[in-house]
Amino acid sequence: MAAAPSVALSDGARRAPPAGPAAFAAERPRGVYTSALAPGGAAVADWQLHVARLAGNMETLNQERPPSFAPFLQWCRQQGVAAERAVGALAGPQVAAALDLLRREAAPGGGGGASDGGGASGGGSTGSGADARDAMVVVVLDKSAHSGEAAAPDAAAAPAVAAAAAPAAGAAGAAAGAPLSVSVLAAWLPARAGGRADEAVKVVARGGPRPWAHAKHCEWVAQRRGLEAFRPADVAEVVLTDGGDGLLEGLVTNFFVVAEVAGGGRGGGSGGGSGGSGGARHGAAGAAASSGGESGAAEAAANEETAGPAAAAAPGLVDLSRFELQTACGPGQPVLAGVTQRRVLEAAAALGLAARLEAPRGGGRAAWREAFIANCIKGLQPVRSVAFWPDGDAPQWELQLPAPDDAGSGGGGGGGAGPVTRLLRARVAALQSWPA
């Protein structure tokens, strides 16, 4: 079934839809953006985390390159309004309006669909029936149109939908007059899109860290095109390297490894990641728990809820003390901190799985038992093969991850997710937040 048309808004005005999400972000090369999942085309998962990242990205870019967001950030200071609150007040209603239009006009089964409410700032049905599917939402922020540098809405587009996209009464005072342009794209995803099906994929590691890596900026869409063009047809993602044997992040995902550690069976504290040696490793789980993690009681309850189906999915219980989760993250690593990456680290902390916030190193690949890539659209997608194709003279290698039935952990390379990945996936789903 072909995907239904998308819905695009620019500052509350309906506009002609772009060729796709990448083209949409590329229209505003000096902007920042985020991509989010709206199950059933209703509420956006972890919306507040996306808002916080958009606001933080503007602050980051203002420090690392010419300050294109200086007028907006100065306006926020003058008004005594937190940038995060202003972003939510401006973007949230437009996301809700775009999703409402998507459900009404572009139901995935064809024809119109009744609105269930929802969007970024309200609950709603996650869809049901054979034609129900998820939607993708892309939000782009740029300096306001009166600066003359932001693209104006298409003159041939439909009339403004200001009544639907205007900020709610409680938020209007927080955002009225803010010098910021907001563009929103909402589009249905193909049924069982990409990594939301449990298909293990191949990734290739090459290329160096990306510019302004700590912000999700629109220029990256153009900067990554060369690596995207290089990617062979059987490769799902290109993972950037640190110039050595460290694997940093994918072009649009974060990269994770589940590695077996020497002297396993050390025990671990639920939610604390205790029992690990090394500051980066010990600090990872603690940092995740302190950055929006659940309370100890809630984590224990969620752990019981998660362990049941996960244990049923894998033969026997998984001894997490034998493993550690490795991913490049934090200010010392040239990577983007993903929304899903944050949830994965919180899940690891809740499960008592030690985590190391450093780039997984090819030199230690003999200990790798599972790997996956993750973002808000794919979820946690298992990796079956990692190929290292450096740009320089370093030797190439390729690692086939163990199949589920012949790995020490149960494996994750043979066509599906391994048991540790499945545990993390289930816990991430339990941790995701939804609008009231």
- pLDDT in 10s for each residue of the chain, 436 residues: 344 479 999 999 999 999 999 999 999 999 999 999 999 998 899 999 999 999 999 999 988 777 789 999 999 999 999 999 999 999 999 999 999 999 998 666 544 443 334 456 443 333 333 346 899 999 999 987 544 444 444 434 444 444 444 444 444 455 678 899 999 999 999 876 444 557 899 999 999 999 889 999 999 999 999 999 889 999 999 999 999 999 999 999 999 999 999 876 544 433 333 333 344 554 444 444 433 333 333 333 333 344 433 333 343 478 999 999 999 998 889 999 999 999 999 999 999 999 999 999 999 999 999 999 999 999 999 999 999 998 877 789 999 998 765 444 555 544 588 999 999 999 999 999 877 5
Please state, in angstroms and as integers, the Cα–Cα distance from residue 14 to each residue in 87, 94, 96, 404, following that order. Answer: 20, 10, 13, 48
For residue 322, what pLDDT is reported? 95
| Cβ(175)–Cβ(90) below 8 Å | yes
401 is a domain residue: yes
Closest alpha carbon to 40 in 102, 88, 93, 91: 102
For residue 436, what pLDDT is reported? 53
For residue 310, what pLDDT is reported? 38
For residue 197, what pLDDT is reported? 55
What is the three-class DSSP state of 182?
strand
Q: What is the pLDDT of residues 121-141, one digit of tens each?
A: 443 333 333 346 899 999 999
What CA–CA distance (Å, rounded) separates 340 from 342? 5
Please state, in angstroms and as integers, the Cα–Cα distance from residue 354 to each residue in 297, 323, 391, following that order. Answer: 20, 7, 32
Closest alpha carbon to 47 in 374, 55, 278: 55
Q: Do 341 and 228 sit in the same domain of this protein? A: yes
Q: Do 138 and 33 sit in the same domain of this protein? A: yes
Q: Which pair of structure tokens corresponds to residue 256?
A: 């994770």
For residue 281, what pLDDT is reported? 54
69 is a domain residue: yes
Q: Do 139 and 229 sit in the same domain of this protein? A: no
311 is a domain residue: no
For residue 175, what pLDDT is reported? 64
For residue 265, what pLDDT is reported? 54
For residue 192, what pLDDT is reported? 61
378 is a domain residue: yes
Q: Do 363 and 401 sit in the same domain of this protein? A: yes
Q: Do 26 and 67 sit in the same domain of this protein? A: yes
For residue 178, what pLDDT is reported? 85
Helix and strand numbers, DSSP H then E, in the chain = 12, 14
For residue 402, what pLDDT is reported? 86
What is the three-class DSSP state of 74?
helix
Which is it for strands 354-356 and 368-375: parallel, antiparallel or unpaired? unpaired
DSSP string, 306-364: HHHHHHHHSSS---GGGEEEE---STTSSS---HHHHHHHHHHHHHT-EEE-S--BGGG
DSSP string, 355-385: EE-S--BGGGGGGEEEEEEEETTTEEEEEEE
For residue 164, what pLDDT is reported? 45
216 is a domain residue: yes
First-to-final CA distance of the chain: 33
For residue 395, what pLDDT is reported? 86
Closest alpha carbon to 163 in 96, 88, 84, 87: 96
375 is a domain residue: yes
Written as one letter, the residue type at 260 is E
For residue 171, what pLDDT is reported? 46
310 is a domain residue: no
What is the three-class DSSP state of 290?
helix
What CA–CA distance (Å, rounded) separates 133 from 39? 7
Q: Which residues contact 262 (CB under 8 A, 6 or more apart)?
A: none
Q: Do 4 and 36 sit in the same domain of this protein? A: yes
Distance of CA 386 to the CA centre of its chain: 21
Q: What is the largest CA-CA distance in the chain?
A: 66
Q: Which pair of structure tokens corresponds to residue 60?
A: 């980051």
CATH code, 1: 3.30.470.10
What CA–CA distance (Å, rounded) separates 360 from 64? 26
Please state, in angstroms and as integers, the Cα–Cα distance from residue 29 to each residue in 24, 36, 221, 241, 384, following that order. Answer: 10, 19, 8, 24, 34
Q: Do 89 and 214 sit in the same domain of this protein? A: no
Q: Do 22 and 57 sit in the same domain of this protein? A: yes
Total number of domains constituting the chain: 2
Q: Do 35 and 82 sit in the same domain of this protein? A: yes
Q: Do 8 and 73 sit in the same domain of this protein? A: yes
Provide the residue range defining the domain that includes 330: 201-262+319-431
123 is a domain residue: no
Q: Do 258 and 332 sit in the same domain of this protein? A: yes
Q: Do 16 and 99 sit in the same domain of this protein? A: yes
CATH code, 363: 3.20.10.10
